[in-house]
Amino acid sequence: MQSRQALMVLALLPGFMSDARAQADDWSAPDCVERYSRYSRVERANFWNAGSNVAGVRQDSVTVSYAELSGMYAGGGFHDYSDGGSLWGAGARAMSITHLERISLTGSFYFGHSSGYGMCGSMSGRPGYYPFDVLEFTPGTKTRQVYAFSGGISADMGRKWRIGAKIDYKASDYTKRKDLRHTDYLLDMTVAPSALYRQGDFALGFSAIFSKNSETINAEVLGISDSTYYAFLDKGLMYGAYESWEGGGVHLSESGVNGFPARELLYGCAVQVQWKGFYAEMEYLYGDGKAGEKEVIWFRFPSHRAALRIGYAFGEPERRHFLRLSLKGVLQYNNESVIQDVTENGVTLPVVYGYNRLLSRMILSANPEYELDAGSFALTAGMKLYAGRSQASPMFPYIFMRDEFFGQMYASASYTVKGFDIAAGLCAGAGFREEDGDMSVTSVRPEQEPFRLDKWNDIKSEYRTAPRVTAELGLRYRFWKGLFAGAGVRYTHGFNIRFLSGADRWTGTLMIGCEF
């Protein structure tokens, strides 16, 4: 118990995945080695742990902690344009859920380093999150370091009330040391105070959510060369400005602004209800985002985000069944400022005359899942569905539309025998993307058409929608008092590949750690 409490003091530990895995495709199959660890099983068994109300952690009473050192290597041509043909990473993390007499503590700590070779494309550390992106085109080595922790506390306030609070923090730097060299700084922080009322088998919870994320891209050229380095500002659907990285259209070297800064504030709330084995949570967040600095704001991107999580658990303690359903929706806009520098009495200030709607996008996703936990044997099967619709207006009077859909089915299982955990997983997915364009109010075609990176758009589209099959195999050996060593391998094969550099991707992982 003392060692477990010491870990909590150091970490105040939901856990962060290794950085290499965090960069993996969101639609990949669950990692079968990680998913069937004792910590992951205990965490998933309490539906409250997947939501924002940390006061609900005391709806369970199992204490468990986990610490791990891991390393990974990935290679192959089936990857997005911003990933490298080969990638390695290493990380250390610790996670814990501890229940005491009147309080419970939960949290995690993580540090990771990864490096990829022959990388270019997006300068952002999380391409696709913001409704714009900045790309560069000289392949080189990129490195990333991630520092993350989360901590939560839940306390009983009498016999029927519980209160709690939770903080999630993540910082990273993403660097390329070859011209056009750049460094990307990311910072995310979320705070969620919460309360829970319980009466017998019934529980009702409420949580407030406050979140801020920010990113700054700094670009520079240090080498001596006659070459001109180009960059591309993607304003939506791969339409945008392509010019020298010092040009005003890509905003990487603008007077009075430090790099390319973006930030977003998210705030909202969530309501939870539980009746015996049934659990449901509804969450809403409003986002207010800006790109630029001080009076020079190039983009404003408001958003609405909603989520519904439903779970149902039934069966005997030694053979539990879990049904889960996660539904998410995002509606986001991107408005470009019409700015002009105006000089009065010798003072030059930027004046905003209005905004142009560059992009609007709606994203819907669903993830139904079934899980069986029968002690030495466990099984998971599910489906992920993604649908998106985007409308871009990069230049008057052009309007471009995109509809896309992707779906996959996955299944994995684990069996424990004589200290060995043997796990395997399989998933298959495919999708499609359709695009259309038109002019809004005139039949006279302008002399200049919107610029688009067609080749890069083809690569991105194929990676997102190509049919694929992924197979996983994992082995973990528990050799002494909770200590374990493990290894895992994942192989992905894509079909009908035309634009990607290859149809295969391998990932191997080694780990050593302790569960207690």
- How confident is the model over 295-308, as a mean pLDDT? 96
Domain count of the fold of the chain: 1
pLDDT tens profile 140-179: 999 999 999 999 999 999 999 999 999 999 999 999 988 9
pLDDT value, residue 222: 87
- Which DSSP helix (H) or strand (E) runs through 76? none
Q: Taking residues 205-230, what's their average pLDDT?
A: 92
Phi and psi at residue 34, to the nearest 5°? -75, -40
One-letter amino acid identity for 388? G
Decide which of 430 and 346 is more confident.
Answer: 430
Q: Judge contact between 439 and 466, C-beta under 8 A.
A: no
pTM of the predicted model as reported, rounded to 2 decimal places: 0.90
User: How many Å apart are CA 442 and CA 444, to the nearest integer?
Assistant: 6
> Can you say whether residue 330 is alpha, beta or left, with left for phi > 0 and alpha for psi between -120 and 50 degrees?
beta
Is 105:8 a contact under the CB 8 Å cutoff? yes
Element (H, E) at 259: none
- C-alpha–C-alpha distance, residues 23 and 20, integer Å: 5
C-beta of residue 426 within 8 angstroms of C-beta of residue 386:
no
Q: Residue 151: what residue type? A: G
Stretch among 102-111, 126-135, 340-349 having the lowest mean pLDDT: 340-349
Q: Determine which of 113-117, 152-156, 337-341, 425-429 has the lowest per-residue pLDDT on average.
A: 337-341
CA atoms within 13 A on the CB side of 183: 7
pLDDT at 513 > cutoff 90: yes
State percent of the chain over pLDDT 90. Answer: 79
Band of residue 23 on the pLDDT scale cut at 50, 70, 90: very low
Give the range of the structural domain holding residue 395, as residue numbers without chain letter: 2-515
What are the φ and ψ backbone dihedral angles of 179, each rounded to 5 degrees? Answer: -60, 135
**Mean local confidence (pLDDT), 233-248:** 94
Supply the pLDDT for residue 441: 64
Burial class of 2 by CB neighbour count within 10 A (0 to 12, 13 to 18, 19+): exposed
Residue 2 has pLDDT above 60, yes or no: no
User: In which band, very low, low, confident or very high, does the pLDDT at 444 lie, cut at 50, 70 and 90?
Assistant: low
Q: Give the CATH number of the domain where residue 168 resides.
A: 2.40.160
Across residues 132-139, what is the average pLDDT? Answer: 95
pLDDT of residue 443: 59
Assess whether pLDDT exceeds 80 at residue 11.
no
Judge if the upstream peptide bond of residue 180 is cis by omega within 30 degrees of 0.
Answer: yes
Tokens of 516: 């207690």
**Sign of the four-CA dihedral 137, 139, 141, 144:** positive
Distance between CA atoms of residues 356 and 338, nearest Å: 7
Average pLDDT over residues 233-258: 92
* 8 Å CB contact between 29 and 492: no
Q: Strand pairing partners for 104?
A: 99, 154
499: pLDDT strictly greater than 80 = yes
Q: Residue 253 to residues 230, 291, 295, 296: CA-CA distances in angstroms? A: 12, 14, 16, 13
Range 52-80 average pLDDT: 95
Q: Look up residue 387 and give its amino acid.
A: A
Is the pLDDT at 19 greater than 50? The verdict is no
Determine the average pLDDT of the residues in 81-88. 92
Q: What is the mean pLDDT of the chain?
A: 90
Query: In the beta sheet, which residues pair with residue 299?
Result: 291, 336
The yes-or-no verdict on residue 42 having pLDDT over 60 is: yes
